[in-house]
């Protein structure tokens, strides 16, 4: 990788870790959309929900959902 991009400090492990995290976030979004309380907003390009109570209940019931970035 350094031969193609000598000025870059990005390593192969960095790319693999980034890919792994993006895959986890994508799967979390797919799982949320599968629930009837959540839906995808094309305008906002994110998962939306009606109330904070719905989100709190989802986080309690779903392992590792606390790692999802929530914007309010």
Query: How confident is the model at residue 20, as a pLDDT?
Result: 92
Query: How confident is the model at residue 70, as a pLDDT?
Result: 60
Q: Give the C-alpha separation, 50 to 26, whole Å.
A: 21
Whether 23 maps to a domain, the answer reads yes
Query: How confident is the model at residue 28, as a pLDDT?
Result: 83
Query: How confident is the model at residue 52, as a pLDDT?
Result: 85
Note down the domain range covering 43: 12-67
Helix and strand totals (H; E) in the chain: 2, 2
Strands 46-49 and 38-41: antiparallel
Q: How many domains does the chain have?
A: 1
**Tens-level pLDDT at each residue, the chain (72 residues):** 566 667 777 888 888 999 998 898 888 888 888 988 888 989 988 888 888 888 888 888 877 655 565 655
Whether 7 maps to a domain, the answer reads no
Whether 5 maps to a domain, the answer reads no
């Amino acid at each position: 990788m350094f031969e193609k991009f000598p000025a870059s400090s990005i390593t192969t492990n960095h790319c693999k870790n980034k890919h792994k995290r993006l895959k986890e976030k994508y799967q979390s979004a797919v799982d949320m959309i599968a629930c009837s309380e959540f839906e995808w907003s094309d305008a906002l390009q994110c998962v939306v929900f009606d109330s904070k109570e719905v989100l709190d209940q989802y986080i309690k019931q779903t392992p590792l959902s606390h790692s999802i970035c929530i914007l309010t």
